[in-house]
Structure 1
Amino acid sequence: MSSQGYELVFSEGPDAGEDVVVVTATGQAGPGGHPVYADATGIVRAEISDRGEVRVLASGGGQNPARVVRVRPLE
């Protein structure tokens, strides 16, 4: 599931709406050794494995990263 970019789909619950954030490769590796992807602002950062497993990374102090519901490769 390797891609230059992904859509990260965040949701607060089954009845809540979704927030979609597009992230692209940064050229860096995360703590698990997988590529790190970031949005255009650099605030949303995620390590994504080749199996589609996502680890949202804190980009600043006091940040509480949300849980990702789904990840979709960009076409």
Structure 2
Amino acid sequence: MSERTGFELTFTNPFPADDMPAEQVVEVFPTTAVGSGGYPIYVDRTKIIRAEISDAGQVRMIASGGGQRPQSPSAVHRLPPADD
């Protein structure tokens, strides 16, 4: 069994509609980069969502492109270990 070191970030849509769910869950995984707080930078599979996540699970969202204003997640959960 290997340690799966990612997190699930839950984002709440402030304006839910029929074509947009009220919540979206995104899995992020560590990169080799470190943020300004000294903690690892995590990204989703598209590399659009970027976040610095502390050992205590505190999240600082990072813009991945110009003009972005990233929303903070409403919940953060460490992913369980994965079976190999």
Aligned residue-pair number = 72
**Offset, 1:12:** 3.2
Q: Hey, what's the Cα distance between the residues in 2 that align with 1:52 and 1:66?
A: 16
**Offset, 1:11:** 0.8
Q: Hey, what's the Cα distance between the residues in 2 that align with 1:27 and 1:72?
A: 20
Give the ranges of 4+ consecutive aligned residues of structure 1 lying more than 6 Å apart after TM superposition.
none
Q: Hey, what's the Cα distance between the residues in 1 that align with 2:62 and 2:5?
A: 18
Q: Hey, what's the Cα distance between the residues in 1 that align with 2:67 and 2:33?
A: 22
TM-score, normalised to structure 2, is: 0.78
Structure 2 unmatched runs, 5+: none
- Greater strand share, structure number: 1
Give the number of the structure whose alpha-carbon radius of gyration is greater: 2
The residue correspondences of 1:34-73 to structure 2 (distance < 5 A) are 34-73=39-78
TM-align CA RMSD: 1.6
Matched, 1:5 2:6: yes
Q: Secondary structure at the match of 2:8?
A: strand
State percent identity of aligned pairs.
49
